[in-house]
A and B are shown apart, each in its own frame.
Chain A
């Protein structure tokens, strides 16, 4: 064993091990947490007494790489100019690289800024199959953090044709497994089920039980078929669903119908805030957070992330061309991009400025917080802003303070559009998140829902991904500037600044499939598309060339 490092006297918040702030020493060596070593003293003792010690943060839904993120960077030229990230000395000192951006940060800046917030793993949730090679190439240039991607299925013509001709569940599962492996994905996401395809046929809306243009398949069928395939394959992360009708007043009914349609099949509802809208009040836009939270609370097969909105400039980046085309009129600044992609999917980019004096934006902010506070089981809710859609990820410390500090939350509530504040129950909600609960929604929970057995906790054998925080009663200040961050045992951050560049790994899932599907997929590509299947498929070597490739077993759903 090589040199042991000891973190002495910290208060350890490790929910996976049932530790909530007890004082203890933490040891690691060779990049792994170890039990207290016998005999010989640690080679390196670091006094962290009184400080809070957590595993490295895991962001399970953040758009950080791939074609649409690059289009976002291109559109958001002011975001680059106003947020330069000059890393003094560049390659001359410590190997850091310059970059910039806040809503659309460059790859290097993304890695550094996440590390500086104590995060050590981030998952790109919307990888279009045709763009998978690009997404992985970009993530290879994203330092500091582990990565992984959710491949977008359910609007791809190959899958829709299988479904339309009544393919057996086993064939659908084989296709899903082949796609996950070909694109080196850890999970599967469906975006506006059927809606992206419908938009290509000039469909401008597709509700949950509407037959889609051409295929005449309902979103309900797509959701249940994909969720069934993932359950059958034993993929740990449930189907990651960006539901139909995003952003539309009244979409609470779609969201509740999606939960009901799963009928016990594990599902994950992403950026739930954007799917929790009612139609009450003079403005026909209201919070349905209470109804949604109640449904989530009683549905053990459902996990969610919130997609919290924060006020300020950002850019919305989504695979949901139907919604993004509809939202173009809200673009600020007035520019937007929509793209149809490769009989696979699409993407839409709409710059957006959330304003606290805008009734709708203010209520969106309140709805997200209501959901955080009304959903009872912290193991099934994850902290996200759907970066950059609700807000850049750099707002996380502020969000944590909103969750942990009712006085602060109420003071912010008093500053938003007064009618939105009046329309929200937020002021009456007393709950404050504890540090233990923050560790769950930012560490232990995301690791569990993704099947990362050796991440998100501090038990012996776990990766030494560790964040040490000064216990500041101002939780925003506390989480803005970790005292220390270790990635795989290497100290990478001191006092909130990156001091060393490291390269993380890529997490993938390797579901098994009947190889009979391969020749059918080869033919589909050769006859209908403009890339051969053999050139579409990403080799293990490409993913492994920049850092380790972590292949996870199909151990069964995290929510089973």
Chain B
């Protein structure tokens, strides 16, 4: 099929990985969309998804009228002592509705990616950090040092968008910007090879070398100091070195301390020159969920609405713990952004909001089909850096409601609803 120019959508925002690319060109293809420009493996797969013929609501696996499914969801929540509103892969309006539902039902709120967010908290919240955003990186960064796994896996267009070899606002000639990494597989790229379990040692060592406080035991720990000394010289010589990491890919003990160490290196470098940290993340609008939770509830997720107000506890209000301990007795799982539906394994009554047609690990008690923000309806998502939020457009006509509309209907169906 040939696509006419008029059918193409230009400067489309991709809401999926968190990098916030907004330069995609899409054309309709077989019910979904082909990414003609600005694509990557993630956007290609998710924009291509089609709405299947059977896209209705279900209760216990059987298709029912939407109102029946909503009523069943409301009944399950009304019978619950402590519901968990989780997943939270949704646009701003959907997240806002999720928090309203949580307050209305006295629920806990968590996001499927919140563990990554909380790995950053010791640096972000307990000491504070010096951070930057993608456009600053694009124009200023002359040394990019990644810690941990290669961020290109989770953010395929990072280098193209933030580190192109091209003139910048401050350099008429293309800016040389070496990309280095300390982490698994980095040795083959000219970086410092380091398994995840030893990243904390590596970061501690780098900070010590940088500060001229080399621990005498360092050599004994099996590290070759020469690459750290070279790296230190390069960090000092750069005008705007950027240290980046993807907390979502750092699922190992002590990752929060690795991040804290990296943040402290950035602060040390700023004593005399400039440097900045770039915490990468935000898949499934995690950053948006954290931002909205902060402005509405005062905490960056993992909070609960109780009669005495709002409580926050990153450990107590963690999804897996709440479900395995039996404290949560109902689950609302929101997965509108077409990722893998990581619906937790649990016996408690489960209400799932997701686009129809995704493969599910299990059939929920109630399935409420929703559209995808940025495809089926307009919306707003946040980018990795937490500063930029982007408008999502409706690209096609479907009957699928948004998360916000669906949850508003659930709230209205709760007993004692005033409106």
Chain A positions near chain B (C-beta within 8 angstroms): 65, 67, 69-70, 73-75, 77, 80-81, 84-86, 88, 90-93, 95, 97-101, 104-108, 128, 130-131, 133-134, 137-138, 141, 157, 161, 199-202, 214, 325, 331, 334-344, 349, 526, 528-532, 534-535, 538-539, 542
B398 on interface, CB distance cutoff 8 Å: no
B103 on interface, CB distance cutoff 8 Å: yes
Chain A nearest CB from B116 CB (Å) reads 15
Cross-chain pairs A/B with CB under 8 angstroms, 24 sampled: A70-B291, A70-B386, A74-B124, A75-B125, A88-B307, A91-B104, A91-B418, A92-B416, A98-B103, A99-B298, A100-B297, A131-B389, A134-B388, A137-B389, A141-B295, A157-B139, A202-B274, A331-B128, A337-B129, A338-B131, A340-B140, A342-B133, A530-B138, A542-B380
With contacts A91-B100, A130-B388, A528-B135 taken as known, whether A100 is within 8 angstroms of B309 at the C-beta atoms is yes
Q: Are A85 and B274 in contact (CB under 8 A)?
A: no
Chain A nearest CB from B278 CB (Å) reads 10
A532 contacts which of B22, B136, B270, B418 (Cβ < 8 Å)?
B22
Q: Besides A91-B411, A340-B132, 19 other CB < 8 A contacts?
A: A73-B298, A84-B309, A90-B305, A92-B416, A98-B310, A106-B294, A108-B296, A130-B387, A133-B388, A134-B382, A134-B389, A141-B292, A141-B295, A199-B274, A528-B138, A531-B22, A531-B390, A532-B23, A539-B391
Instruction: Give CA–CA (A161, B169) in the complex, Å.
Output: 9
B71 on interface, CB distance cutoff 8 Å: no
Instruction: Give CA–CA (A530, B299) in the complex, Å.
Output: 29
Closest 6 CB pairs of A and B: A86-B309, A84-B309, A80-B298, A335-B128, A530-B134, A336-B128
B161 on interface, CB distance cutoff 8 Å: yes
Contact with A along B12-49 (1 / 0, CB 8 A): 01000000101100000000000000000000000000
Q: Are B310 and A200 in contact (CB under 8 A)?
A: no
Q: Are B310 and A77 in contact (CB under 8 A)?
A: no
- Nearest neighbor of A157 in chain B, beta-carbon distance: B169
Instruction: Give CA–CA (A67, B389) in the complex, Å.
Output: 10
Q: Are B135 and A342 in contact (CB under 8 A)?
A: yes
Query: In the complex, which residues 256-294 of chain B have their Cβ closer than 8 Å to any Cβ of chain A?
Result: 270, 273-274, 276, 291-292, 294
Chain B positions near chain A (C-beta within 8 angstroms): 11, 13, 20, 22-23, 92, 96, 100, 103-104, 124-136, 138-140, 161-162, 168-170, 239-240, 270, 273-274, 276, 291-292, 294-300, 305, 307-310, 312, 380, 382, 386-391, 411, 416, 418-419
Q: Are B305 and A98 in contact (CB under 8 A)?
A: yes
Q: Are A80 and B299 in contact (CB under 8 A)?
A: yes
Instruction: Give CA–CA (A135, B257) in the complex, Å.
Output: 32
Q: Are A134 and B128 in contact (CB under 8 A)?
A: no
Q: Are B296 and A107 in contact (CB under 8 A)?
A: yes
Q: Are B135 and A92 in contact (CB under 8 A)?
A: no
When distances are taken between beta carbons in the complex, the residues of chain A under 8 Å from B11 are 532, 534-535
B133 contacts which of A81, A91, A100, A130 (Cβ < 8 Å)?
A130
With contacts A98-B103, A532-B22 taken as known, whether A335 is within 8 angstroms of B276 at the C-beta atoms is no
Chain B nearest CB from A474 CB (Å) reads 30
- Nearest neighbor of A76 in chain B, beta-carbon distance: B298
With contacts A84-B310, A535-B11 taken as known, whether A100 is within 8 angstroms of B298 at the C-beta atoms is yes
Instruction: Give CA–CA (A100, B13) in the complex, Å.
Output: 34
- Nearest neighbor of A215 in chain B, beta-carbon distance: B170
Q: Are A342 and B308 in contact (CB under 8 A)?
A: no
Q: Are B380 and A141 in contact (CB under 8 A)?
A: no
Main secondary structure of the interface of A (DSSP, over half): mixed
Q: Are B295 and A337 in contact (CB under 8 A)?
A: no
Instruction: Give CA–CA (A138, B296) in the complex, Å.
Output: 8
When distances are taken between beta carbons in the complex, the residues of chain B under 8 Å from A74 are 124-125, 294, 300
Q: Are B390 and A535 in contact (CB under 8 A)?
A: yes
Instruction: Give CA–CA (A202, B13) in the complex, Å.
Output: 33
When distances are taken between beta carbons in the complex, the residues of chain B under 8 Å from A349 are 128
When distances are taken between beta carbons in the complex, the residues of chain A under 8 Å from B273 are 202
When distances are taken between beta carbons in the complex, the residues of chain A under 8 Å from B170 are 214
Q: Are B295 and A138 in contact (CB under 8 A)?
A: yes
Q: Are A67 and B386 in contact (CB under 8 A)?
A: yes
When distances are taken between beta carbons in the complex, the residues of chain B under 8 Å from A104 are 298
B130 contacts which of A84, A93, A128, A338 (Cβ < 8 Å)?
A338
B387 contacts which of A88, A336, A342 (Cβ < 8 Å)?
A342
Q: Are A341 and B274 in contact (CB under 8 A)?
A: no
B104 contacts which of A69, A90, A339 (Cβ < 8 Å)?
A90
Q: Are A92 and B104 in contact (CB under 8 A)?
A: yes
Q: Are B169 and A528 in contact (CB under 8 A)?
A: yes
- Nearest neighbor of A138 in chain B, beta-carbon distance: B295
When distances are taken between beta carbons in the complex, the residues of chain B under 8 Å from A95 are 418-419
With contacts A98-B103, A201-B274, A341-B387 taken as known, whether A137 is within 8 angstroms of B92 at the C-beta atoms is yes
Instruction: Give CA–CA (A81, B124) in the complex, Å.
Output: 18
Q: Are A343 and B297 in contact (CB under 8 A)?
A: no
When distances are taken between beta carbons in the complex, the residues of chain A under 8 Å from B168 are 528
- Nearest neighbor of A331 in chain B, beta-carbon distance: B128
Instruction: Give CA–CA (A546, B373) in the complex, Å.
Output: 19
Q: Are A86 and B308 in contact (CB under 8 A)?
A: yes
Q: Which of A100, A161, A343, A344 has the most C-beta atoms of chain B within 10 angstroms of its own C-beta?
A: A343
- Nearest neighbor of B380 in chain A, beta-carbon distance: A137
Chain B nearest CB from A238 CB (Å) reads 28
- Nearest neighbor of A338 in chain B, beta-carbon distance: B130
When distances are taken between beta carbons in the complex, the residues of chain A under 8 Å from B240 are 200
A530 contacts which of B162, B270, B391 (Cβ < 8 Å)?
B162
Q: Are B308 and A84 in contact (CB under 8 A)?
A: yes
- Nearest neighbor of A79 in chain B, beta-carbon distance: B298
Q: Are B127 and A335 in contact (CB under 8 A)?
A: yes
Chain A nearest CB from B296 CB (Å) reads 6
With contacts A77-B125, A202-B239 taken as known, whether A106 is within 8 angstroms of B296 at the C-beta atoms is yes
When distances are taken between beta carbons in the complex, the residues of chain B under 8 Å from A331 are 128
- Nearest neighbor of B106 in chain A, beta-carbon distance: A90
Q: Are B389 and A133 in contact (CB under 8 A)?
A: yes
Chain A nearest CB from B143 CB (Å) reads 15
With contacts A67-B386, A530-B162 taken as known, whether A200 is within 8 angstroms of B140 at the C-beta atoms is yes
When distances are taken between beta carbons in the complex, the residues of chain A under 8 Å from B418 are 91-93, 95
When distances are taken between beta carbons in the complex, the residues of chain A under 8 Å from B411 are 91
Instruction: Give CA–CA (A349, B130) in the complex, Å.
Output: 10
When distances are taken between beta carbons in the complex, the residues of chain B under 8 Å from A337 are 124, 128-131
B136 contacts which of A85, A134, A200 (Cβ < 8 Å)?
A200
- Nearest neighbor of B93 in chain A, beta-carbon distance: A545
Chain B nearest CB from A171 CB (Å) reads 18
Instruction: Give CA–CA (A84, B100) in the complex, Å.
Output: 17
A134 contacts which of B270, B274, B299, B387 (Cβ < 8 Å)?
B387
Chain A nearest CB from B260 CB (Å) reads 12
Instruction: Give CA–CA (A105, B418) in the complex, Å.
Output: 27
With contacts A90-B305, A530-B135 taken as known, whether A535 is within 8 angstroms of B296 at the C-beta atoms is no
Instruction: Give CA–CA (A531, B125) in the complex, Å.
Output: 28
When distances are taken between beta carbons in the complex, the residues of chain A under 8 Å from B23 are 526, 532
Q: Are B169 and A343 in contact (CB under 8 A)?
A: yes
Chain A nearest CB from B20 CB (Å) reads 8
When distances are taken between beta carbons in the complex, the residues of chain A under 8 Å from B300 are 74
When distances are taken between beta carbons in the complex, the residues of chain A under 8 Å from B132 are 339-341
Chain B nearest CB from A228 CB (Å) reads 24
When distances are taken between beta carbons in the complex, the residues of chain A under 8 Å from B96 are 141
Instruction: Give CA–CA (A70, B309) in the complex, Å.
Output: 19
Instruction: Give CA–CA (A87, B311) in the complex, Å.
Output: 14
Instruction: Give CA–CA (A75, B294) in the complex, Å.
Output: 11
- Nearest neighbor of B140 in chain A, beta-carbon distance: A200
Q: Are A340 and B169 in contact (CB under 8 A)?
A: no
When distances are taken between beta carbons in the complex, the residues of chain A under 8 Å from B239 are 201-202
Q: Are A133 and B309 in contact (CB under 8 A)?
A: no
Instruction: Give CA–CA (A105, B297) in the complex, Å.
Output: 9
Instruction: Give CA–CA (A267, B129) in the complex, Å.
Output: 34
Instruction: Give CA–CA (A341, B132) in the complex, Å.
Output: 6
When distances are taken between beta carbons in the complex, the residues of chain B under 8 Å from A70 are 291, 294-295, 386
Instruction: Give CA–CA (A81, B308) in the complex, Å.
Output: 11
Chain A nearest CB from B98 CB (Å) reads 13
- Nearest neighbor of A334 in chain B, beta-carbon distance: B127
Q: Which of A106, A214, A526, A530 has the most C-beta atoms of chain B within 10 angstroms of its own C-beta?
A: A530
